[in-house]
Structure 1
Amino acid sequence: MSVRNLEALFQPTSVAVIGASDRKGSVGSLVLRNLKLGGFKGPLWPVNRQHATIDGGPAWTDVASLPQAPDLAVICTPPGTVPELIAALGRKGTRAAIVLTAGLKQPSLQGGPSLEQAMLEAARPYLLRILGPNCIGALVPGVSLNASFAPGNAQPGRVAFVTQSGALATAMLDWANSCNIGFSHFISLGDSADVDFGDVLDYLASDAQTRAILMYAESFKSARKFMSAARAAARNKPVIVVKAGRAPDGAKAAASHTGALAGSDAVVDAAIRRSGMLRVDTLESLFDAAETLSHARPWRGDRLAILTNGGGAGVLAADALQLGGGRLARLSEQTMGALDQCLPATWSHGNPIDIIGDAPVDRYRDALRVLLAAPEVDAVLFMHAPTAIVPAAEIASACLTLIGESARPVLTCWLGGSAVAAARAACTAGGIACYNTPERAVAAWLQLVDYARNQEALQQLPAAALEGFLPDTLAASSLHERALQGGREWLDGACAHALLRAYGIPVVETVQVGDVEQAVAAAAQISYPVALKIVSPQIIHKSDVGGVALALASAEEVRAAAVKMREQVARLLPQAVVLGFTVQAMAERPGAHELIVGIATDAVFGPVILLGEGGIAVELHKSHAVALPPLNANLASDMITRSGLAPLLAGYRGRPPADQKSLVDTLLKVSQMACDLPWLAELDINPLLVDERGVLAVDARVRLRPVAPGEGSRLAIRPYPSALEERIEVAGHDLLVRPIRPEDGWRLMDFYAKASPADMRLRFFMARREVPHSELARYSQIDYDREMTFVALATMDSGDQIMAGEVRAACDPDNVRAEFAIQVASHWQGKGLGRQLLDKLIRYLRERGTAEVVGQCLVENLGMAALARQCGFQVSIEPSRDTMALHLQLR
């Protein structure tokens, strides 16, 4: 489920309080009081088996006796009563309930399912949605709903707050009221047995009254639903998250280096970043970020100018910016000259721009005007410390018009108390972000920088990724089958290297042998020097038991090293079964960087990719990055940047730059492994040597996992569905029809650019010369779990593929309705391509269980109307008389 019936939860027209009471301090009494004091305008029906009246009004003995089905029921009764109450509400016709009761994890009967599971089973036949259990309720000030036992009401506002912690919810509500912060929704999820973060994000994403969404999270579930909802919501409005539990305790038990480094908090970071949301560390930062993002101007870049009348305040801001990884704008000669014209000779002559403490109003205004016109300045932090010369309110009055008209972000910082209160109030009233300390203002700016980068990731048009690369999946499956038959959890070294070769990753020459003399013979075959490594299912980290010998230059050295290894293993790990040795050619790559690339499995988000510094002390390095697959070239490049490796790989002190493209390709191949191989639990490629000649995998560890029959994909983001590719014939031409890929953004740009003005008007219902970059990214980077776009590609004589047509559909979160659109290039119109594309889309939607397909076209688009009728659609003219409605029932 997703948004179905959530309107009954958050916009009810009637409410029943089950367990309502006159007993002072009881939950039932507090809920009824809050509903009344909140001003709820619909019928309120208290339910209590023992009392005919509650709070001076009539009460009902049970659900069946209510005058009609309430939209929403709030349940305040003991745990054992909840499942039957939910069943009774479902029979009555109620479609939403808030279960405040805790303790539903206990069994309903001895050895039976939990009360929570029984509650969900009771709700399922009626599609009754449940908030909770173990929550404080929900407040929606816009409809005067306070269905909670919170100690007070919420003020109306444009920010939604969603939390898993009831205690935090009450504290947050009290704090927000004291700061005059209002909410569109204030939602306590509790145990999230039914309604969870994904559902609420889907609902709030399309809520016109919500300008930003704030979340306090302790854990996530249903990763794919959450990621789909989060990415959709983050495209519409700012979504800001505080996630508790940053300590990586769960990583301590990991068997591989990758598993240890990719701790759960790092994975949450990766998920939030990939979805376009923003993560902050504190509740105070949560509201600062909401303030900043809600009033932000279009993003230009990260170069900040600091304008201040106090040198100390400017230095504090500059320090905070540098320590936070931000960037001061470097003022050009032209900007410096313009500032010289309006500032005294004693100004700071640099950024921060200190205009001196005696600055009159005109000095502020003139300096601000110069900075807002400077092309090298992307944003301005405007700071003022009170003086006796000019009241802060006058400075604010003079500068707010400039700030309000600016196309660039401007943040203000008014230091002090009562002397700057009027200036702060004026900024707030003018919709301008305002902070009371330099550090807090800079922190808010850095949040804006992070948010912009996350949003940019949603709008990238990546280059083509590994065109023509086809992994040898049969060879990979064969390795897995042999390991299963042998009862092994880990692939041996030779098989691990064979798996990498199957995915096109270069590896050193490796031979596995069973005894010492075979090792000597293999070394002679490979050529000296060689590396010798022990092979044992019980030994994962070979160096820990002396199981690695390097640069062996002769048969005698190989023989001696092998004997010594057996002796050390017998002494240090007597239970280990030694199966033999691997003999490898020594990788002669002096000066190469040692990296680690790997895959780990997160309990919630499934497979994740890791990149960082490698070698023996890999877990001591702090330079690493984690990302969710599937990756594209841009995401892989971003991993290199975030890992901190980019400066090393760029070359320094005569060391040539490394071949970063080969590293990007390796990350893409590892990502493909994560998508293709459900039985791959952990992978370490360590070290992966990277230099100007490319990459070379020296060692690899691969852990397997059992895969249950019918088990679905573990990936939090559905990968490219290659099974949907097919070839079709149109007018004697062979075309490839496949799902769109992110890297098709450039083809899509060309497709729209070459379309006639008439075709563009029929497609978009308005004349447009081009489609914005952000829209192209949205059209090409689709969520395959909720959307589908099929493109038809024709191969030109040059070998390039161009788009001949596209058909797309976006499904609602409940998969009830899909809205479609189609366009065919002028050259391909009238040849049957549109019919084949639309037929393929309908087949796909029918197979995924979508109930109906709808669309719209202009009344003059007779070709579209005829095509829709051919495919079984009902076509009718809409009341506006400008458009026709297209509708096809699938189930």
Structure 2
Amino acid sequence: MSVRNLVKLFAPRSIALIGASDRPGSLGATVLHNLVGGGFRGAIHPVHPTRTELAGLRVVASVAELAAAPDLAVICTPPATVPGIIGQLGERGTRAAVVLSAGLAQARDERGRSLKQAMLDAAHPYLLRILGPNSAGLLAPGLGLNASVAHSGALPGRIAFVSQSGALMTAVLDRARSRGIGFSHIIALGDSADVDLGDVLDYLASDGETASILLYVEHLRYARKFMSAARAAARSKPTLVLKAGRVPANVRAAASESGALAGLDDVFDAAIRRAGMLRVFTTEQLFAAVETLAHARPLHGERLAIVANGAGPGVLAFDALVCGGGSAAVLAPATLERLDAVLAPGGTRANPLNLQGDAASERYARVLEILLRDDGLDAVLVVHAPNASVDSADVARAIAPIAQGASRNVLSCWLGGDSVTAAREIASGAGMPTFDTPEDAVAGFLQIVHYRQNQNLLMQVPPSVSGIPASERGAARALVRGALAAGRYLLSDPETKAILRAYGMDLVETRAAASVDEAVVAARAIGFPVAVKILSPDVMHKSDVGGVALDLDSEQAVRAAAQRVRKRLGELRPDARFEGFSVQAMARRPEGHELILGAATDPVFGPVILFGQGGIAVQVADDHAVALPPLNAVLARDMIDRTRVARLLAGYRNRPPADMDAIVAALVQVSRLVSDIPEIVELDINPLLADASGTIVLDARMRLALADHSASTLDRLAIRPYPRELEETIEFGGAPLLLRPVRPEDGPAHLRFFDALTPDDVRYRMFVRIRELQPSQLARFTQIDYDREMAFIATRGGPDGLPETLGVGRVVADPDNVSAEFAVTVRSDLKGMGLGRILMQKLIDYCRLRGTREIVGEALPQNTRIIGLVKKLGFEVQPAGEEGVRSFKLVLR
């Protein structure tokens, strides 16, 4: 993960155009025209071997003749020349380049390398960052920078648009300009040989000129890197994704139903949800959503109240809400009583409220004030249709100050054309999300709802330690190793169930039998009635080959059934291997629901978990949800709620609800299983029978593959789990004190910790005076990605029973894990008691464990405590920069 030198790419002060031209239609001429016409305030240096002047600018013949190294180079020369140019630029001191040239991946140099690899090799010694090749360029309208092949410039604004398609970039640019939408950056990634989506997200997440981020994505290569950057970006600003390739050209082969059901787009959708971003499906939705989220307040619930000046518009909005899966607010009796004094005769008292066509601005305002006092709703949609007796602008002016002062979202819809233009402008100026139709308004509200749901998922950080006893995990791993040693990659039914049992799953008693006689013996031991099933690694669905016999209540019935299913296998699948029989106790659960729990391995995101409606028609029903492990109870419950079968599980008529806690526990255990044992690449539990008394596994299938044990098993996961193994309890001040990594739920305690710091302590830590933490700062401090940084807190229970944070030690390593910057802060009333040294030692031990080479930091000269502490710990202390700032360095290896 690297943002090194990206400021030179996205905010350069000088630019060299290598391959500048005045030949009409050429790449060099197009980019030169855009650079000059964009109003870039820095220096522009065209490079051409024979020309002396282009577009009124002095031209030099080569990189070597540039008077000084430019911050950014834009290259549009033939592919074979690019690696050499990159090497020359790096040697001169340039640290960023946009390569517009295409075809570098296909062409080879004299050493047999692709030109793309040769280009990267040339850039590496200088840490020169490359956007492209085959990029359509970039724009930073606030700087007047247009280093692209776009046919027009962009308006300045606060939206960043990042695209993996140059064609879509130019199309969006054209559309946005016609609608007056401005951008902080527009970036076409091209082939992403160096700078990729994760790098750009990292840069934009901390860019002060960017308020929201839009992504157009076609493919991903590095899931962990993307998820790490996406989660960091989504914590600080709305991040929206438009993904192409929803329908795959071909269906990948899978040995399990989970593998077949967990399609590529399902997995990508699960990743977007878990990253706290919002997915949209059209370019129109992309811009509508960013405008909506930019104006939206934090949503604490999902209940919407609708107010309209006519039955039709209100009902259209209500229908869109219910059909879209939204929740309609139920108004409290006290609210209805207050509304009675305001509503005209004939108006409705229920949601949606009909104020009648002649509703004046005062009625709108009074009704909105009453609704916002009702704790049973979370947002209000105001719909207004033009009326000859009521000025729409007056209505907008009446509700605007109420909406501005409300703690909840107020959305507005102004039906009509030119006559409501002024009302739309007033409402939008007041910060209200504003729409043209009731359906669009409800869609906007649901986008806020979905965004809130995804942000809640972003907060979930399940632990890395599974909680399964070591002996049970060891037994499960031994079964897996034994099968692989024997060259078997599909576990038998009894083996699969033994592993599931080790991970706490409830199963029907099952025994394997190699022959008919053994099947009879197994049935006698289990007790009648039993089921007999064929065992064959080549058959996914046993019932398809007549390989299942149920309710066998005697030895004779078992013998006859075993002979019958064996014969049927030979007739229908003579190529299938026969490995015996599985004999099971019959599970008598007449009110049980058949579910599927499973796991598969995505080529990009690694292990994924699947849940849905099970049974023999599982693929036809196509009712399932996918999520990325690790899971906790909140994430598992979200999976269940996203399926249609969840409504059946909730109970109906005389059928009691299923034990949802047991289903959630089963999902969490499957997540722990695939996280613990990397060799498990596919798993089907189908059916998992669930009813009011719990869950029980009836049938299961597990496929293995050799795993790479040179890396941690957790490296397979797209999301790094909470590292519980780093927790440590020590004694401090005569009482136990827990040192552990920070978690998102530490936010309230972090605020109290910040409030307990003196102004000087805040300035020593941040080098500036800050009165209070902003939400984005709080998120940045408590919602960290454990792949890229670590923050240890010292915590204990406070006098009020709430957890309190006494100190924080934080370290952030560079992308190459060479250097890590630290910061330590102790609550002001606890200074001088040794807590700073404890936290500092914790950081040093952690960095040694990670193999970091050195720890560095800075402090103001007045911060004598930290300067004295690091000297005692062996740090080298030197003056650095202005104001007497001291720099620290401790070499670890």
Is the TM value for this pair above 0.5? yes
Which residue of the partner structure matches residue 632 of structure 1? Answer: 632
The answer to whether the 8 A contact 2:466-2:676 is kept is no
Q: Is 207-216 or 534-543 further displaced after alignment?
A: 534-543
The answer to whether the 8 A contact 1:136-1:149 is kept is yes
Paired residue secondary structure (1:472): helix
Question: Do residues 614 (structure 1) and 650 (structure 2) align?
Answer: no
Question: Do residues 788 (structure 1) and 783 (structure 2) align?
Answer: no
Which residue of the partner structure matches residue 309 of structure 2? Answer: 309
Which residue of the partner structure matches residue 700 of structure 1? Answer: 700
Which residue of the partner structure matches residue 144 of structure 1? Answer: 144
Which residue of the partner structure matches residue 714 of structure 1? Answer: 716
Which residue of the partner structure matches residue 256 of structure 1? Answer: 256
Match of 1:153, as an amino acid? G
Tell me the CA shift for residue 810 of structure 1: 4.0
1:176-219 CA distance string (max 9 Å, x none): 11111100001111222211111111101111111111111111
Which residue of the partner structure matches residue 424 of structure 1? Answer: 424
Q: Is 832-841 or 129-138 further displaced after alignment?
A: 832-841
The answer to whether the 8 A contact 1:465-1:632 is kept is no
Question: Do residues 821 (structure 1) and 824 (structure 2) align?
Answer: yes
Paired residue secondary structure (1:342): coil
Tell me the CA shift for residue 789 of structure 1: 3.6
Match of 1:431, as an amino acid? G
Q: In 1, Cα distance between the equivalents of 2:465 and 2:760?
A: 32
Paired residue secondary structure (2:64): coil
Paired residue secondary structure (1:230): helix
Which residue of the partner structure matches residue 339 of structure 1? Answer: 339
Q: In 2, Cα distance between the equivalents of 1:63 and 1:882?
A: 39
The answer to whether the 8 A contact 1:262-1:600 is kept is yes
Tell me the CA shift for residue 407 of structure 1: 2.1
Which residue of the partner structure matches residue 209 of structure 1? Answer: 209
Tell me the CA shift for residue 147 of structure 1: 0.2
Q: Is 542-551 or 845-854 further displaced after alignment?
A: 845-854
Which residue of the partner structure matches residue 840 of structure 2? Answer: 838
Match of 1:578, as an amino acid? F
The answer to whether the 8 A contact 1:251-1:259 is kept is no
Q: Is 858-867 or 26-35 further displaced after alignment?
A: 858-867
Q: Is 801-810 or 777-786 further displaced after alignment?
A: 801-810
Paired residue secondary structure (1:684): strand
The answer to whether the 8 A contact 1:19-1:75 is kept is yes
Which residue of the partner structure matches residue 663 of structure 2? Answer: 663
Paired residue secondary structure (2:567): helix
Match of 2:499, as an amino acid? L
Which residue of the partner structure matches residue 874 of structure 2? Answer: 872
Q: In 1, Cα distance between the equivalents of 2:379 and 2:887?
A: 46
Paired residue secondary structure (1:416): coil
1:38-72 CA distance string (max 9 Å, x none): 01122212222343333344322222222222211
Match of 2:381, as an amino acid? L
Paired residue secondary structure (1:187): strand
Q: In 2, Cα distance between the equivalents of 1:777 and 1:659?
A: 35
Which residue of the partner structure matches residue 94 of structure 2? Answer: 94
Which residue of the partner structure matches residue 365 of structure 2? Answer: 365
Which residue of the partner structure matches residue 9 of structure 1? Answer: 9
Paired residue secondary structure (2:703): strand
Q: Is 204-213 or 551-560 further displaced after alignment?
A: 551-560
Q: In 2, Cα distance between the equivalents of 1:756 and 1:356?
A: 51
Tell me the CA shift for residue 13 of structure 1: 1.2
Q: In 2, Cα distance between the equivalents of 1:612 and 1:420?
A: 47
Which residue of the partner structure matches residue 598 of structure 2? Answer: 598
Q: In 2, Cα distance between the equivalents of 1:372 and 1:725?
A: 45
Tell me the CA shift for residue 879 of structure 1: 10
Paired residue secondary structure (2:420): helix
Which residue of the partner structure matches residue 68 of structure 1? Answer: 68
Structure 2 CA distance for partners of 1:722 and 1:45, relative to 1, 3 Å: same
Paired residue secondary structure (2:317): helix
Give the RMSD, CA atoms, in angstroms: 3.6
Q: In 2, Cα distance between the equivalents of 1:477 and 1:60?
A: 66
Which residue of the partner structure matches residue 192 of structure 1? Answer: 192
1:664-716 CA distance string (max 9 Å, x none): 22222211112211111011111112223322212111111122352452110
Which residue of the partner structure matches residue 581 of structure 2? Answer: 581
Q: Is 401-410 or 812-821 further displaced after alignment?
A: 812-821
Tell me the CA shift for residue 739 of structure 1: 4.4
1:83-118 CA distance string (max 9 Å, x none): 222222222221111111222221414893322222
Which residue of the partner structure matches residue 676 of structure 1? Answer: 676
Structure 2 CA distance for partners of 1:353 and 1:722, relative to 1, 3 Å: closer
Q: In 1, Cα distance between the equivalents of 2:759 and 2:604?
A: 43
The answer to whether the 8 A contact 2:412-2:435 is kept is yes
Which residue of the partner structure matches residue 116 of structure 1? Answer: 116
Which residue of the partner structure matches residue 450 of structure 2? Answer: 450
Structure 2 CA distance for partners of 1:491 and 1:169, relative to 1, 3 Å: same
The answer to whether the 8 A contact 1:724-1:739 is kept is yes
Paired residue secondary structure (1:240): strand
Which residue of the partner structure matches residue 505 of structure 1? Answer: 505
Tell me the CA shift for residue 639 of structure 1: 1.8
The answer to whether the 8 A contact 2:380-2:409 is kept is yes
The answer to whether the 8 A contact 2:613-2:621 is kept is yes
Q: In 1, Cα distance between the equivalents of 2:723 and 2:640?
A: 27
Give the TM-score taking structure 2 as reference length.
0.91
Tell me the CA shift for residue 620 of structure 1: 2.2
1:529-586 CA distance string (max 9 Å, x none): 1122222222232222222222222222222222222222222222222121221222
Q: In 1, Cα distance between the equivalents of 2:408 and 2:52?
A: 63
Q: In 2, Cα distance between the equivalents of 1:755 and 1:405?
A: 28
Q: Is 721-730 or 326-335 further displaced after alignment?
A: 721-730
Q: Is 653-662 or 732-741 further displaced after alignment?
A: 732-741
Aligned length: 884
1:558-577 pair list within 5 angstroms: 558-577=558-577
Which residue of the partner structure matches residue 482 of structure 2? Answer: 482
1:632-651 pair list within 5 angstroms: 632-651=632-651
The answer to whether the 8 A contact 2:546-2:568 is kept is yes
Tell me the CA shift for residue 658 of structure 1: 2.6
Match of 1:451, as an amino acid? Y
Q: In 2, Cα distance between the equivalents of 1:180 and 1:755?
A: 41
Gaps of 5+ in 2: none
Tell me the CA shift for residue 251 of structure 1: 4.7
The answer to whether the 8 A contact 2:106-2:115 is kept is yes
Structure 2 CA distance for partners of 1:331 and 1:137, relative to 1, 3 Å: same
